[in-house]
Amino acid sequence: MRRDVVIVGGGVSGAFCAYEMQRAYPEARVSIFDRAPSFGGRTAAFDMGAARPLEGGASFVSSAHELVLRLAHALKCTMTEVRFRQVGLHLDGDCASPYRLTQGLGDGAFTGAALQHATLTKLAPQAVAAIAASDGAAAKQILRSTEIDGRALWRWPIGPLLERLWSPEQVRRARNTHGCTSNFGAANAFDTLLTAAWEGAPGQSFYRFDKGAGHFACTLAEASPEILRFTHHRLIALGRCANGFVLSFSTPAGLRHVEAGLVILALPRRALNLIAFGDDIVGASFHHDLSQIIDVPAFKLFLEFDRRWWDDLPFTLGSGDLGAVFTQLAAQQNYFENTAGRHWMLAVFADGENALYWRSLLEADGAASVTRGAPMGATPAHLIAAAHRHLEIMYGRVPAPRCGVYADWSAGWHAWRPGARSWEVRERLVQPNSNLPLFICGELLAEHAGWMESALNNAEEMLERASAWLAHTRARTFLPFVNER
Ligand SMILES: Cc1cc2nc3c(=O)[nH]c(=O)nc-3n(C[C@H](O)[C@H](O)[C@H](O)COP(=O)(O)OP(=O)(O)OC[C@H]3O[C@@H](n4cnc5c(N)ncnc54)[C@H](O)[C@@H]3O)c2cc1C
């Protein structure tokens, strides 16, 4: 088979690339391939008869996420506003009941988001002013040249930097009240604080897709009927042929080779690492550049109950409210809603070390069926029992769950290593060989890790670069449709 444009990876980034390439070059023969049984990648959801799909991956979209909102509108994927309510914290063995989060956590303590904001203000007040004036470029410039103790911000791991600036107690409290504990660990301080500033921008409201984020990604992948789509195709090798590339896929029916003029890889870091690239396809720095990206594990576990026992807790949720409790236990975050129908709650939403705790329980079970990076349905009884124990520590007596579903992501999102100049590495990885139409995009290169919007922004920038390459004379040897235009 020969195609003009081949996109590998059917998550939201790859689906967007296919959609945009087909729109920009209607004559081009575009195909998209994914190793999984369906498209959507990290937007996978479970339909468990709850009022809405249980999102194993992405779920929230901010009013500031202009590209996602624009696409959702064009594709008629409707959304409903969700109001986050931090209804409690469970810290330091306060087992009676979650107490309400008011102004703060005690003397000099900050919540996670507040500590990150205070850190930015302490280190680079001009960057905070630039962000407030919506001048992201200036803020980045300032932060790139910010130094602490004679060491550039991008050379600092965020955890040690926070400990340098704040007391251990302040850092501990902040980490235990933040959705992303990895933001307090080994990642590069420049990228972590930049993402925190973007996430924490004031005046945002939040939405969820009525049919789930996975439905949005799949609708995007299916929006152009001309695009050929293939699931169960895992790319294992990429080589050259006379006028383009040859891609080798592992499929249930055996090895399959596909020729292509232009290739876009919209894949996570680990998947890129596992591909065998032919000689001279990627430059010498490629694998070193990839090693600058860290995988952050993430884990979600939903539990179903016979009744909505959280109605008895000391908080009241209105329609559209999503109540969150943060804890230093490995469950990390619990989410409650008062929807009608079956009674599901998100009992565990953990990342980093906490996610590894839940994974270790799966491994202890010898659960041979665990597939890294792929969401799963069946939940072992002892995993449910462990989550139930966590809930009882936090809330007292909790009825036994009926069942559960979990999603275990070896790379829920990515982060940058200290010492990586992410802006330069990103620039090299987008097109690893300037002589070849091979492009890379997706969340792994997003400026703000862990968000669909930023993954799509990165894909959009990559497509501009691909278009510029297509306008170049060399493109004609690879892509006949360029000649036809
Ligand atoms: C638990 C969790 C919660 C999140 N919450 C939010 C949120 O609330 N809001 C938000 O905006 N974002 C959220 N995100 C982030 C969001 O899910 C990602 O930014 C986005 O989905 C990334 O899309 P992508 O296309 O770049 O990558 P992916 O979705 O990872 O797509 C990559 C695709 O490549 C395929 N693939 C891998 N290897 C191969 C191979 N060798 N050959 C062929 N195909 C391959 C995979 O099957 C996958 O479909 C969350 C993520 C997680 C894990």
Ligand 1 nearest atom to the CA of residue 444, by list position: 26
Ligand 1 nearest atom to the CA of residue 9, by list position: 34
Ligand 1 nearest atom to the CA of residue 34, by list position: 44
Q: Which helix (H) or strand (E) holds 423?
A: helix 422-430
pLDDT of amino acid 92:
72
From ligand 1's centre to the CA of 11, what distance in Å?
5
Whose C-alpha lies nearest to ligand 1, atom 50?
Answer: 58
**What are the angstrom distances between the C-alpha of 51 and each of 337, 342, 343?**
10, 7, 9
d(CA 300, CA 349): 5
Q: Which helix (H) or strand (E) holds 297?
A: strand 293-305
Whose C-alpha lies nearest to ligand 1, atom 6?
Answer: 58
Whose C-alpha lies nearest to ligand 1, atom 34?
Answer: 9
From ligand 1's centre to the CA of 370, what distance in Å?
18
The one-letter code for the residue type at 403 is C
From ligand 1's centre to the CA of 459, what distance in Å?
13
- Cβ atoms within 10 A of the Cβ of 368, count? 7
From ligand 1's centre to the CA of 297, what distance in Å?
12
pLDDT of amino acid 144:
96
Whose C-alpha lies nearest to ligand 1, atom 4?
Answer: 58
pLDDT of amino acid 107:
64
Taking CB atoms and a 6 Å cutoff, what residues make up the pocket around ligand 1?
Answer: 8-14, 33-36, 41-43, 57-60, 233-235, 266-268, 271, 298, 300, 409, 412-413, 442-443, 450-453, 455
Pocket test for ligand 1, best of 452, 457, 458, 460 (most atoms within 8 A of CB): 452
Ligand 1 nearest atom to the CA of residue 453, by list position: 11
pLDDT of amino acid 471:
84
- List the pLDDT tens digit at each of the 485 positions of the chain: 889 999 999 999 999 999 999 999 998 999 999 999 999 999 988 888 778 899 999 999 999 999 999 999 999 999 999 999 888 888 875 544 555 544 445 666 788 888 999 999 999 999 999 988 889 899 999 999 999 999 999 999 999 999 999 998 889 889 988 889 988 999 999 999 999 988 888 889 999 999 999 999 999 999 999 999 999 999 999 999 888 899 999 999 999 999 999 999 999 999 999 999 998 899 889 999 999 999 999 999 999 999 999 999 888 898 889 999 998 899 999 999 988 888 999 999 999 999 999 999 887 765 544 444 445 556 888 899 999 999 998 888 999 999 898 999 999 999 999 999 999 999 999 999 998 999 999 999 999 999 999 999 999 999 999 999 888 766 766 776 665 54
Ligand 1 nearest atom to the CA of residue 41, by list position: 49
From ligand 1's centre to the CA of 412, what distance in Å?
7
From ligand 1's centre to the CA of 245, what distance in Å?
25
Residue 180 · residue 297 · CB < 8 Å: no
Query: Per-residue b/e over 121-144, b at no fewer than 16 CB within 10 Å?
Result: eebbeebbebbeeeeeeebbebbb
